[in-house]
Amino acid sequence: MSNTDVVYGIHAVLAQLNQRPDDVIEILLQQGREGDQINKIRAFADKQHITCSVVSRKVLDQYAKTHQGVVVKVRASRGKTEEELVHLLDNLDEPPFILVLDSVTDPHNLGACLRSADAAGVHAVIAPKDKAVGLTPVVRKVACGAAESVAFFSVTNLARTLRMLQDRGIWITGMAGEASQDLYTTDLAGPTALVLGAEGKGLRRLTRELCDQLTKIPMTGLVTSLNVSVAAGICLFEAVRQRKLKGN
CATH 3.30.1330.30 domain span(s) along the chain? 4-75
User: How far apart are alpha carbons 27 and 50 in whole angstroms?
Assistant: 7
CATH second-level architecture of 4-75?
2-Layer Sandwich (3.30)
pLDDT computed for residue 78 by the predictor: 65
Burial 209-220 (b: 16+ CB within 10 A, else e): ebbeebbbbeee
pLDDT attached to residue 1: 46
145 is in an annotated binding site: no
- Which residues, in sequence order, are CB contacts of 44 under 8 Å at separation 6+? 17, 21, 50
Nearest CA to 6 out of 79, 64, 69, 68 is that of 64
* pLDDT value, residue 176: 93
Q: What is the pLDDT of residue 235?
A: 97
CATH homologous superfamily of 82-246 equals SPOUT methyltransferase, trefoil knot domain (3.40.1280.10)
- Can you give the pTM of this predicted structure? 0.84
Distance of CA 241 to the CA centre of its chain: 20
Cα atoms in the 13 Å half-sphere on the side-chain side of 233 = 12
Residues carrying CATH 3.40.1280.10, the chain: 82-246
Q: What is the pLDDT along the chain (248 residues), one digit of tens a residue?
A: 467 888 888 888 888 888 888 888 999 999 998 889 899 899 988 888 888 999 999 999 998 888 889 999 988 766 788 889 999 999 999 999 999 999 899 999 999 999 999 999 999 999 999 889 988 888 988 988 888 889 999 999 999 999 999 999 999 999 998 899 999 999 999 999 999 998 778 899 999 999 999 999 998 888 878 899 999 999 999 999 999 998 86
Q: In this predicted structure, what is the pLDDT of residue 145?
A: 83
197 is in an annotated binding site: yes
Would you say 134 and 78 are in contact if contact means Cβ atoms under 8 Å apart?
yes
Tell whether 27 is in a known binding site.
no
From its phi and psi, is residue 133 left (phi > 0), alpha (psi between -120 and 50) or beta?
Answer: beta
